[in-house]
Chains A and B, each alone.
Chain A
Amino acid sequence: MCDQTFMAATFGPCDSCSKPSPLMNIYIKNEATNYCSLCVEMMACQGLQKGETLESLKRESETLKKKLEEERNKLNDVELHQVAEKVEVLSALSIKTRRVLKGHGNKVLCMDWCKDKRRMVSSSQDGKVIVWDAFTLNKEHGVPLPCTWVLACAYAPSGCAIACGGLDNKCSVIPLSLDKNENLAAKKKSVAMHTNYVSGCSFTNSDMQLLTSSGDGTCALWDVESGQLLQSFHGHTADVLSLDLAPSETGNTFVSGGCDMKANVWDMRSGQNIQSFESHESDINCVKYYPSGDAFASASDDATCRFYDLRADREVAVYQKDSIIFGASTCDFSLSGRLLFAGYNDYTINVWDVLKGTRATILFGHENRVSRVRVSPDGTALGSASWDSTLRVWA
């Protein structure tokens, strides 16, 4: 099991105020303690102490950051491409468009696959959310939402509901129904309430919980039935653009990426930020876990995708090329994790060999930015959504 957080105490009496609450594991003068989030904040907000100035604090934090880098480098005994030399070269890939889904009238901003491996939900700039059977190209449900720019949509694990949100600052869950005449928009239920646009949403292992990321700089975990906020995640200093849940079955973590160029890993139980990676030079548009849950990739406006190893706690690969100057807006791994599909703002999808760091192939077809790529749950196909108002299925 990769998840190091499972052994940590995440709920109980706070060492400072003794109230039972979610706990953050921090260190005060190298001593491990468990504080509730309020006590941590109070510790941080004590203002300038005697003998401290803003400059001295800045220098102190820089020193600590250097120390962190040193610690990370101590265990850096080999590079990914060195280990990958022994791996056999990929044979030539032949990936073509197998389906083109037309029906949106405007930019398609997001898509998600259903667990049944053939249905998908997509949302667009004009507020329309459509559920398709991508195999037969049938549109099964269409929900017009009152807001424009529906930036996030997700399919529930049971396949019986969808979640969507965007510029309305909310994320709503809509139960799907077989009755064609039923007005699905009327049954829409607002679950998440943020103070700014919702950029990403995902169900956890069941239909009952929803994880959202927002332009207000926070992520949040919600109970769908009651709309109650179960946990909020603070730490980003700018818009959070994307999130992804860890795939391990004891998965208690998720990763988020934002406009502060940081990718943060969070413990869902306590709200604590446990790891942070800051090597991108621009906004991070998308983060996605490696299938084993021990690593993740990020796609950014600086035209690179990067690969981070969570156990070694560092960046292990950068996927870039001279001829790629446009930002990457989305990425996803194939089932084995050997291929990384990344959609770019120059209307192409580049397929990277994750281990060797080279580009395996490039997919043309879309006529505007690729806003989202997702591999189907059984790995048989790649779905892509684009600003040219179509979705494509590649295999």
Chain B
Amino acid sequence: MTIRNVLRDHGQRYRPRMACLKKAEKVVLEMQDPATGVKLQPQRLVITTIPHAITGEDIVAWLADRFQIDAQEARSFGSMLVALGYIYPIQDHKRLVVKPDASLYRFQTPYFWPTQQWPVEDTDYAIYLAKRNIRKKGILELHEQEQYNRLHKWMNHKWDFIVMQAKEQYRAAKERKKPDRVVFDCQERAYWVVHRPPPGTVSAMDYGLERLIDPNAHEAKTPDDYERIMIFTQQSIMRPRVKSSVSIGALVKYCATYKGHDPFLSKCLPSNPWLTDDVTYWALNMPNVEIPTKMRVERWTFSFGELLSDPRGRDDFRLFLKKEFSGENLAFWEGCEDLKWGTAATMKEKAEQIYKTFLARGAPRWINIDGKTMEITVKGLKHPHRYVLDAAQTHIYMLMKKDSYGRYLKSPVFKETMKKAVCPEEHKFSDSQLEQNARNRRPSLSPIIIRQQEQEQKAKMAASAPVDITQVMSKLSKQGKEAPPRRTSVKND
């Protein structure tokens, strides 16, 4: 029994991950069709003529026509066929690419295709190298010589066998006609360039790490497996679903709404930093900038989620709520978020703290939730876990979304922000200015420093200002965060 050399078993077992091999085969067979395939030409050597060669340009043209793609893509596809070993170059045999000129290629014989049933064994490689050594000493390349020496050491016990096989094959080859011999040598050489690539070259056979599951193995299912499937399927059937027209309509609408904000589809104002090397766009859109851009404010009108997820938008909303004396809703929501995503160690205390501040009878910042939700929440707090406030949080979120959000969009606070928002002019850089921008690329403040500054500010606030956390947050936001910061004196509210 031979020990299968699993590590080098490139695609031989036809893993679905190398499903491309079967598809490539279909294409190659089409290419060889005598009527509709690639045009064949004879290759002229000194005195012999070897038939069935094809040029690079013909390959590219045929592929471009067959798949209705442009020349660059056809060339890329052709190069992959060569890299996989279905077509091999006759000249420059070590570079597995398709050159779109008169360079000659030939179709590899199916015996040497990568999807054959037998794995690529080191024994065969050793025989091949030995055979070439016999034919002409010193013909092996450096990497082949190194491989040969390594195999000689590792396979020393069967070296006699290998040499015998090599001699036998060499003798058999001499009995062939010259054209056949030349073709076979080319085919064999091409096969080994694909499966034992020279160092430093890219191998298409390299598919990376093995995955644990063997797709060719058939796993028998146990009764438990079927039970699990059934429990899941039953639950899946009963889940509410939505009509396709409604949900697809929403997806399409989302694209349309955000089209103007997508830098790949519309222009960034003033300019995309990656295109012009000018970072004004990023400076104008810092998380806690004093004056937002018009585009940014427009996004807040798309959905409540957009408003909340933008720190500047949230600050604006907080200001509005303060004026309406309903800031506790947002504060509660933020507390719940902190509980959900916070570290496990302080979870219980946080839950208790939130309960005392917002939910308990006579709490300083009491929020208004319905009786049923309050009952569920209080019951849950007996065994506090990170999602214990979920029901209450959702209730308050919906309240803000359906009620406060709409009023915010019509409020003076929002109108003021919208009025003050900037709309920068588009940059029009000349080529020399662009070059200068590229030379002047500057590093930005590290997020580590930014966080340190925020923490210092928070500590200062906490030390001197009143306990109300919302005051702290709105003060922080008003100071803005453009770098570098200047130490201002702490203003008492």
- A-side residues, CB < 8 A to B, are 1, 4, 6-7, 10-12, 20, 25-27, 30, 32, 40, 43-48, 52, 54, 57-58, 60-61, 64-65, 67-68, 71-72, 75-80, 83-84, 87, 90, 93, 95, 98-99, 107, 114-119, 133, 135-136, 138, 140, 149, 151, 158-160, 167, 176-178, 196-197, 204-206, 208-209, 215-216, 223-226, 228, 230, 235, 237-239, 241, 248-250, 259-260, 269, 273-276, 281-283, 290-292, 294-295, 301-303, 309-314, 316, 321-323, 325-327, 334-339, 345-348, 354-355, 362, 364, 367-369, 378-381, 387-388, 393, 395
Contact = CB atoms under 8 A, between A and B. Distances in A.
Given A135-B274, A223-B343, A225-B343, 15 more contacts: A76-B244, A78-B245, A87-B255, A116-B444, A216-B212, A239-B213, A250-B393, A276-B236, A281-B16, A283-B16, A291-B254, A337-B254, A337-B255, A364-B72, A380-B273
21 contacts: A10-B387, A30-B238, A71-B241, A90-B265, A118-B444, A135-B273, A136-B442, A136-B443, A159-B448, A205-B341, A209-B341, A226-B344, A239-B212, A290-B254, A294-B254, A303-B19, A312-B241, A323-B63, A325-B24, A336-B259, A338-B259
For chain B, give the interface size range. 35 or more
Contacts of A381: 263, 272, 274
Contacts of A77: 243-245
A61 B229 contact: yes
Contact of B244 (A40, A309, A348, A368): A309
Interface string B270-298: 00111100010110010000000000000
B301 to A, nearest CB: 16
B309 interface: yes
Contact of B441 (A135, A228, A378): A135
Nearest to A348: B76
Contacts of A238: 211-213
Contacts of B3: none
B312 to A, nearest CB: 14
- Interface hub of B243, B248, B383 (most chain A Cβ within 10 A): B248
Nearest to A115: B447
Interface of B: 16-17, 19-20, 23-24, 27, 63, 67, 69, 72-73, 76-77, 80, 202, 206-209, 211-213, 215, 219, 221-224, 226-252, 254-259, 261-265, 268, 272-275, 279, 281-282, 285, 305, 308-309, 337, 340-345, 379-380, 383, 385-388, 390, 393-394, 397, 401, 441-444, 446-451
Given A206-B341, A362-B73, A291 B231 contact: no
A45 B265 contact: no
A133 B244 contact: no
Contact of A215 (B212, B229, B272): B212
Contact of B262 (A83, A87, A379): A379
Contacts of B449: 178
Given A294-B247, A395-B274, A208 B262 contact: no
Given A323-B73, A336-B259, A380-B281, A83 B390 contact: no
B275 A98 contact: yes
B224 A44 contact: yes
A71 B394 CA distance: 29
B17 A283 contact: yes
A327 B20 contact: yes
Contacts of A303: 19-20, 23
Contacts of A346: 20, 76-77, 80
A196 B209 CA distance: 13
A75 B236 contact: no
Given A225-B345, A326-B20, A275 B444 contact: no
A260 B219 CA distance: 12
Nearest to B74: A323
Contacts of B401: 1
Q: 7 nearest interchain CB pairs?
A: A159-B447, A336-B258, A336-B262, A323-B67, A395-B274, A238-B213, A325-B23
A302 B252 CA distance: 27
Nearest to B382: A20
Query: At the interface, is chain B mostly helix, strand, loop or mixed?
Result: helix
Contact of A52 (B20, B223, B229, B337): B223
A107 B385 CA distance: 42
A169 to B, nearest CB: 12
Nearest to A206: B341
Contacts of A335: 258, 261-264
Contacts of A216: 212
A135 B383 CA distance: 49
A118 B282 contact: yes
B117 to A, nearest CB: 21
A47 B223 contact: yes
Nearest to B219: A237
Nearest to A175: B448
Candidate in B80, B209, B243 with the most chain A CB atoms within 10 angstroms: B209
Contact of A75 (B202, B241, B262): B241
Nearest to B233: A64
B410 to A, nearest CB: 22
A309 B448 contact: no
Nearest to B256: A87
Contact of A208 (B237, B341, B380, B443): B341
B451 A158 contact: yes
Contact of B243 (A75, A136, A275, A339): A75
A325 B80 CA distance: 10
Nearest to B72: A364
A98 B272 CA distance: 11
B443 A138 contact: yes
B263 A75 contact: no
Contacts of B236: 68, 275-276, 313
B248 A312 contact: yes
A152 to B, nearest CB: 12
A206 B19 contact: no
B223 A57 contact: yes
Given A71-B237, A249-B308, A309-B251, A11 B380 contact: yes
Contacts of B27: 325
Contacts of A225: 343-345
A191 B67 CA distance: 49
Contact of A336 (B228, B244, B255): B255
A322 B340 CA distance: 47
B265 A61 contact: no
Nearest to A90: B265
A379 B285 CA distance: 13
A311 B250 CA distance: 10
A116 B447 contact: yes
Contacts of B259: 336, 338
A36 to B, nearest CB: 13
Given A249-B305, A334-B264, A312 B397 contact: no
